[in-house]
Chain A
């Protein structure tokens, strides 16, 4: 049976949520990411800001130069997560097969639900209406026989779009698109492909797999299938989280250990906060380093006991950092992840001699988290992180 896959992509999600909640922002260029001239990158730009050429992942400073009158805001992930949850709940009313790939994006497998809710297009329209009515937000939806095509479809008529791609449309709707639209084809890969005169998805589909294997390695075969509209990956419903992590890509490569240590602390705090919010603890701390030449290493350490304390996550990741980073090559990305997760209330507490009292820490974190949720992220932060906020 042919599958019916829906891809929902919220329009300028973070910015849209901020504009929705603050009338003063409506109709204005809004950039989510951080202060105008700070080091970060744009996380989301409102459609008004996009008119100035501001895009996701662009350095904030560049965004500022393009549109100095834009309103720059730090992301309020706690809020976005909450809205995201409401959106996901709407999806789950139509099918149990919902795979959230980020806060603002999800796949739904609605194969065989026609009798219950109507054709996929009808479901899509109902989803759009409910998100508009209940949450006052818009989204773009793609419908196709597989995930790859559904995601392409949702991107075709943004914002507030609804596009159906069937197998018969592949030649007309998919093949003219640039290769960069294929999952996993980034800027560099696209450049390599262009050297072989492969510019569109159609070019990719028409290229012999042997040549693609030579250009792209093992991945060539996969890319060739995708280009021909073949993608058998199932929609995997939200599993229980196996890991919680944060990573940061720098706009300028960094080799300063002091700065990197501070970033590690910030990442550890974010991870700890999310673990505690999710009621989870983990035993394995994973550090990810990507060097300037894109070489990426991950190193991990497994503890005897689970934790969700920022301090412990930081201490562990700092140990891994110190024993795996010489400071000679600069880094373009650093990430901290905690895996081996268990529910906090399922962890038995082994009492300990000669140690600081864990219970005190638990109380401390609980209080800090409450304040930061109530008054906004970073209401209380470590003194060592204050430098960033000047």
Chain B
């Protein structure tokens, strides 16, 4: 393998695949990046066997071939290279790569390319297309609610529930739930009713690296899923298990409706959550809704905050407490000016939506405070 390329292209490739590089030391070659030169493109691949990422950049290929380089040294080196023409050549007898820039030369030992695990092409029981901007938004609007506690692995991932041509993206840590709907473009005639649980890391990576405008092709089976565009491909294992019926937990009837300015509520909550409880790091806010006023208060050993916000309110006077973080996480990603909060009772879920969209819905469970 021998190619001519630029620092920028190498860096792009490394940064795209780097999160898939294994951080465990069990299989040494997985701490490397596979470089493969073919048809004037350089393909980068990395995998920790849970997630695999592949991308390619244009290069001038003098001879085709492949090699695995230790990711840490290779990326450190590339970062420190000058902005000049760079030649990479694989020397099979030494299992090393010769990197030339200007009249300098660096040799870096690696592994033969054929020893790297193949990142499979999935045939796929299902396949559909989705717009990259849309998918990125959907991820951003739901990923914060995944669980970080791996005692129940299904909640550390996000549910893709595909009903006909609707993708329901659902996340929950059992204290709150985020549900975002969108239309997808099905690529075959199958009747879809699929439940796939995708690790949150995969979706975070997807949101990070997808930059192109063309639709993302999603396909896979019950064990693996892949997302691909012309230049980039992510393949990930799915989390095993059955996601509970999320639709069932959304209340049908409400007995209180609040309409409030998103930003006003957000700033108030940010102030109210400043004085966190030292013991467990959570800050609890109490909401008292009465007439056309929302009173928000919080207190801890450090101090207390008490504010009133004018709102539109329909329903009976109510008092309800929440973990402030759960409310703020939602408010931070809502761009609409007006927020609707539906309440069913002091000890029952609150539903947050925006005034103009019904394609996302947030459910937050309250706290019963100690006194």
Contact = CB atoms under 8 A, between A and B. Distances in A.
A102 B172 CA distance: 45
A166 B371 CA distance: 53
Interface residues of A, number: 16
Nearest to B365: A351
A304 B347 CA distance: 21
Could you say which of B172, B175, B323, B349 has the most chain A C-beta atoms within 10 Å of its C-beta? B175
Interface string A333-356: 000000000100111111111110
A352 B347 CA distance: 11
Contacts of B323: 350
B51 interface: no
Given A304-B149, A342-B279, A348-B321, A355 B370 contact: no
A353 B365 contact: yes
A312 to B, nearest CB: 10
B174 A348 contact: no
A283 B177 contact: no
A353 B173 CA distance: 8
B103 interface: no
A348 B174 CA distance: 16
B172 A353 contact: yes
Nearest to A342: B279
Given A283-B280, A348-B284, A354 B367 contact: no
Contacts of A306: 280
Contacts of A353: 172, 174-175, 177, 244, 249, 363, 365
Interface in B240-259: 244, 249
Main secondary structure of the interface of B (DSSP, over half): loop
A348 B369 contact: yes
Given A350-B365, A354-B249, 17 more contacts: A283-B280, A303-B149, A304-B148, A306-B280, A342-B280, A348-B284, A348-B368, A348-B370, A349-B367, A351-B175, A351-B347, A351-B366, A351-B367, A352-B174, A353-B177, A353-B365, A354-B172
A303 B151 CA distance: 10
A354 B363 CA distance: 13
A347 B370 CA distance: 6
Contacts of B363: 353
Nearest to A283: B280
Interface in A349-377: 349-355
Interface residues of B, number: 23
B367 A350 contact: yes
Contacts of B244: 353-354
Contact of B175 (A303, A346, A352): A352
Interface string B174-202: 11010000000000000000000000000
Nearest to B244: A354
Could you say which of A303, A342, A349 has the most chain B C-beta atoms within 10 Å of its C-beta? A349
Nearest to A306: B280
A342 B172 CA distance: 27
Interface string B288-323: 000000000000000000000000000000000101
B367 A355 contact: no
A81 B279 CA distance: 28
Main secondary structure of the interface of A (DSSP, over half): mixed
Given A283-B280, A304-B149, A352 B370 contact: no
A348 B321 CA distance: 10
Interface in A126-143: none
Given A304-B149, A354-B244, A349 B368 contact: yes
Nearest to A345: B370
Contacts of B148: 304
B365 A352 contact: yes
Contacts of B249: 353-354
Contacts of B347: 351
A346 B347 CA distance: 18
19 contacts: A283-B280, A303-B149, A306-B280, A342-B280, A348-B284, A348-B321, A349-B368, A350-B175, A350-B323, A350-B365, A351-B175, A351-B349, A351-B368, A352-B175, A353-B172, A353-B174, A354-B174, A354-B244, A355-B174
A306 B371 CA distance: 18
A8 B253 CA distance: 66
Nearest to B363: A353
A355 B154 CA distance: 13
A346 B177 CA distance: 26
A92 B368 CA distance: 37
Contacts of B371: 345
Contacts of B349: 351
Contacts of A304: 148-149
Nearest to B323: A350
Interface in B52-93: none
A224 to B, nearest CB: 41
B248 to A, nearest CB: 10
B126 to A, nearest CB: 25
Closest 3 CB pairs of A and B: A351-B365, A349-B368, A354-B244
Interface string B108-148: 00000000000000000000000000000000000000001
A351 B173 CA distance: 11
Contacts of B177: 353
Interface in A273-293: 283
A348 B286 CA distance: 12
Contacts of A348: 284, 321, 367-370
B366 to A, nearest CB: 6
B133 to A, nearest CB: 30
Nearest to A319: B151
Contacts of B366: 351
Contacts of A345: 370-371
B286 to A, nearest CB: 11
Nearest to A304: B149
Interface string A297-339: 0000001101000000000000000000000000000000000
A348 B244 CA distance: 25
A346 B370 contact: yes
A303 B174 CA distance: 15
Interface string A25-67: 0000000000000000000000000000000000000000000
A248 to B, nearest CB: 26
A3 B367 CA distance: 50
A345 B177 CA distance: 27
Interface string B318-351: 0001010000000000000000000000010100
A352 B149 CA distance: 14
Contacts of B369: 348
Contacts of B365: 350-353
Nearest to A344: B370
Nearest to A354: B244
Nearest to A312: B151
Contacts of B175: 350-353
A77 B368 CA distance: 34
